Amino acid sequence: MKQKTMYLCSECGYENAKWFGKCPSCGAWNTMGEFKVKPETATRGVANFTRGTSRPTLLHEIETNDESRFYSGIGELDRVLGGGAVHGSFVLVGGEPGIGKSTLLLQMCQEMCRNAKVLYVSGEESLRQIKLRAARLEIKSPNLFVLAETDMEQIINETELLAPDVLIVDSIQTVYKRDLTAAPGGTTQIKECSMSLMQYAKNKNVTIFVVGHVNKEGTLAGPKILEHMVDCVLYFEGERNGPFRCLRAAKNRFGSTNEIGVFEMSDHGLLEVTNPSAAMLAGHPSGAAGNCIACVMEGSRPILAEVQALVAKTQFGVPRRTAAGVDYNRMVLLLAILEKRAGLFLSSSDAYVNVVGGMRLDEPAVDLPMVLAIVSSFRDKPLPEGVMSFGEVGLTGELRAVSSASQRINEAYRLGFHTCIMPMQDVDENLMHQMNIVRVHTVGEAIQAVL
């Protein structure tokens, strides 16, 4: 039977039997690439149906062993995976080039190969380079296998021969299948190679970690085509020049996607940060105007972080606004609320907001600390020592309750804060004695209370 030719958009993954100059799905020009599909062998219909190996099974008859997870040996990574990696799962680790993905996975190998057979395949570095990196990371394990290869068939063959429990492929953009005409790193290659690895993972019950570089727009290169196939998508993010890195689950079939893992990049690789609040607050200036400590919940864990703001008179034209670590639109919205509901004249001021340490705070609870930092900078008046806050701000300037208030206050107390500005909501009786808890109805009241 003749091989069928399909066309695939490298931007959005749209497939069609016809070629288009402009992709009908995403509208990008000149992105449709050709790829060959294997001809279907069996004709459709029950009459010609030959039974394969898979059968409909009763759900309650399926046997699983409880021991289906194993620890990667890195606590922060296990936390994000939802309590260790699941046997036979397919994990995609995404992040910008140079953020530390290879470092993280090589360090994970070191821990994993204590009680599992691990194969690390690199398509980016030679064996010598891997060895040099391992030396820098002080990886001395005698039973870690490495392979420098980019040909997918070779990788699968070698993996079959070695039969490891864990396979790491670094990165999906460098591997290719010879029978495809498309270049490595393109959508077709990424899709096909991932499918082969996926099938291998499910058939042989091997856990596979695949590295995928993310392009500037923050999407996994070879767009989102991998996300729906894999079991877990972890993003490794942070500022490249800053020390802290965050590992976040964007998708997890075996756990929650709320947890984050925090790491610090050092000369000897990544170190786990088990007490992120203390790390984020290190070097926190006292008595400076324009900062406020926030407490956000990352999964089950409260984390304190410093929100900084700088409000300065606009020299000419439209005022500048930038936000790092918080949502830009949210910041602009809060500025508008301050102008309208608290009577602050901010429309002729530039405003910059930054979260220290390169963390990204996406929770609404960061609204109030952001407001306090902005007003503190605007008035050039520092917040009193030992004050922290959290709370969501509504469009009428009212403060709205957030989840896990007691846990947040507890964490702040543990790190030596004595006053908490928060919305009107219940907290633990015991905490009322430990902390000075100021509950306020509106943004105006919050500003009055501390500034």
Any contact of residue 308 with Mg ion (CB under 5 A)? no
Which CB sits closer to ligand TYD, 137 or 324?
137
Q: Which one-letter DSSP state was computed for residue 182?
A: S
Smallest gap from Cβ 45 to Mg ion, in A, equals: 48
377 is written with which tokens? Answer: 């900078």
Q: Of 86 and 169, which has the nearer Cβ to Mg ion?
A: 169
Cβ proximity of 140 and 106 under 8 Å: no
Shortest Å, Cβ 149 to Mg ion: 15
198 binds, among ligand TYD, Mg ion, none (CB under 5 to 8 A by kind): none
Residues that bind Mg ion (rule: CB under 5 A) add up to a total of: 1
Regarding 354 and contact with Mg ion (CB under 5 A), the answer is no
d(CA 260, CA 186): 30
Residues in the chain: 451
Of 121 and 371, nearer to Mg ion (C-beta) is 121
> What is the residue type of 26?
C
Q: Where are the alpha helices (DSSP H) in 328-404?
A: 328-341, 367-379
- 103 lies in the site for Mg ion, by CB under 5 A: no
Identify which range of 94-102, 126-134, 179-187, 411-419 contacts Mg ion by CB under 5 A: 94-102
Amino acid sitting at position 51: R
Whether residue 361 contacts residue 296, with contact meaning beta carbons closer than 8 Å, is answered with yes
Tell me if 174 contacts Mg ion by CB under 5 A. Answer: no
Contacted entry of ligand TYD, Mg ion, none for residue 285, CB cut-off 5 to 8 Å set by kind: none
**Shortest Å distance, C-beta 17 to Mg ion:** 37
103 binds, among Mg ion, ligand TYD, none (CB under 5 to 8 A by kind): ligand TYD
CA distance 193 to 210: 11
- Whose tokens are 């607050």? That residue is 281
CA 215 from chain centre, in angstroms, equals: 14
Q: Following CA atoms 198, 202, 205, 210 in sequence, which dihedral angle do they give, to the nearest 10 degrees?
A: 20
In 3D, which of 173, 172, 191, 174 has the Cα closest to residue 33? 191
Span interacting with Mg ion, options 13-21, 52-60, 100-108, 298-306, rule CB under 5 A: 100-108
Residue 267 touches which member of Mg ion, ligand TYD, none, C-beta under 5-8 Å by kind: ligand TYD
Label residue 220 left, alpha or beta by phi (over 0 means left) and psi (-120 to 50 means alpha).
beta
* Contact footprint for ligand TYD (CB under 6 A): 95, 97-103, 133, 136-137, 265, 267-269
Residue of 330, 326, 388 lying closest to 360 (CA atoms): 326
Q: Please, what is the minimum distance in Å from the beta carbon of residue 53 to Mg ion?
A: 37
Query: How many Cβ atoms from other residues are within 10 Å of residue 201's Cβ?
Result: 21
Query: Which CB atom, from 9 or from 168, has the smaller least distance to ligand TYD?
Result: 168
Q: Which stretch binds Mg ion (CB under 5 A): 26-34, 99-107, 112-120, 353-361?
A: 99-107
By beta-carbon proximity to Mg ion, the closer residue of 102 and 110 is: 102
Question: Which listed option, ligand TYD, Mg ion, none, makes contact with residue 204 (CB within 5 to 8 Å by class)?
Answer: none
Report the residue closest to Mg ion, judged by CB.
102
* Residue 97: CB minimum distance to Mg ion, A: 7
Please count the other Cβ atoms lying within 10 Å of the Cβ belonging to residue 95.
Answer: 24
Binding window for Mg ion (CB under 5 A); candidates: 98-106, 146-154, 291-299, 306-314: 98-106
Residue 102 within binding range of Mg ion, rule CB under 5 A: yes
Least Å distance between CB 264 and ligand TYD? 10
Closer residue to Mg ion (CB): 100 or 223: 100
Nearer to ligand TYD, 73 or 269 (CB): 269
Would you count residue 122 as binding Mg ion (CB under 5 A)? Answer: no
d(CA 447, CA 384) in angstroms, rounded, equals: 12
Listed residue (443, 176, 434) closest to 334, CA to CA: 443
Helix (H, G, I), strand (E, B) or coil at 99: coil
CB 378 within 8 A of CB 385: no
Least distance in angstroms from the C-beta of 95 to ligand TYD: 5
Q: 275 is written with which tokens?
A: 């007490």
Give the footprint of Mg ion on this chain (CB under 5 A). Answer: 102
